[in-house]
Amino acid sequence: MGIPINVKVNGKEYNQEVEPRQLLVDFLRETLRLTGTHIGCDTSGCGACTILVDGKAVKSCTLLAVQVDGGEVTTIEGLSKNGDHPLQEGFKEEHGLQCGYCTPGMIMAATDLLANNPNPTEQEIRHALEGNICRCTGYHNIVKSIQYAANKMQGKEVAHG
C-alpha cells in the first residue's frame, strides 16, 4: 500500500503514491525519470546522489521519499533549463569533469556552498566537497570550476585555465 506525498521537484508539483521504504533517489530516477541524480554507492559515501532539499545539499540515498512530503527538491535538471548555470559553465570551462559520474552531485553540493558562502576560499570549497568522491580528476579542476562560478555569480571577471 502506497503513501501519498506532495512534493515540488524542480519547480513542478507532484502528488504521488510511494512505497513507504522507497529511497528518494529511486523516486527521482524511477518514478519521475530524473536520471541526472546518480547512484554511486548506495551507502551515502560517494555523494553522486546529492540534491537540494529545501535548499540544503543532501544525499538522496539517505532519505525516504516520504520524508520530503511537503518539501521542495532541486536536482541537477532543475538547476537551469539550458545547462548554463555558472557552476555548469565552470565545470565545462575549467575541465572539472572527466567521466562525469560524480559531477551532478558535486555541482549540487557546490550550489549549497555558494548559496551560503558566495566567495569561498579553496579550503572552504574542499571542505564543502568532503562528502563527494571523484575517482578521476584529483579535485584541482573541480575547485577551479567552483571558483570560476563564484566569481561569475558575483559579476567578477572570470579567468580560464
Instruction: Give 3-79's CATH code, choosing from 3.10.20.30, 3.40.50.720, 1.10.3720.10, 3.30.70.20.
Output: 3.10.20.30
Q: What is the pLDDT of residue 83?
A: 87
Q: What is the pLDDT of residue 130?
A: 94
Interatomic CA distance for residues 91 and 20, integer angstroms: 37
Q: Kindly write down the DSSP assignment for every residue of 38-60, as one continuous string.
A: --S-SSSSS-TTEEEETTEEEET
| Average pLDDT per block of 10 residues along the chain, 161 residues long | 96 97 97 96 91 97 97 97 93 93 96 98 97 90 96 86 61
Are 50 and 59 spatial neighbours (Cβ–Cβ below 8 Å)?
yes
Q: What is the pLDDT of residue 43?
A: 85
The dotted CATH code for 86-153 is 1.10.150.120
pTM for the structure as a whole: 0.93
Please state at what angle helix 140-153 crosses helix 86-93, rounded to 10 degrees: 140
Interatomic CA distance for residues 110 and 105, integer angstroms: 8
* Domain range annotation of the chain: 3-79, 86-153
Report the C-alpha dihedral over residues 82, 100, 78, 129, rounded to 10 degrees: -130
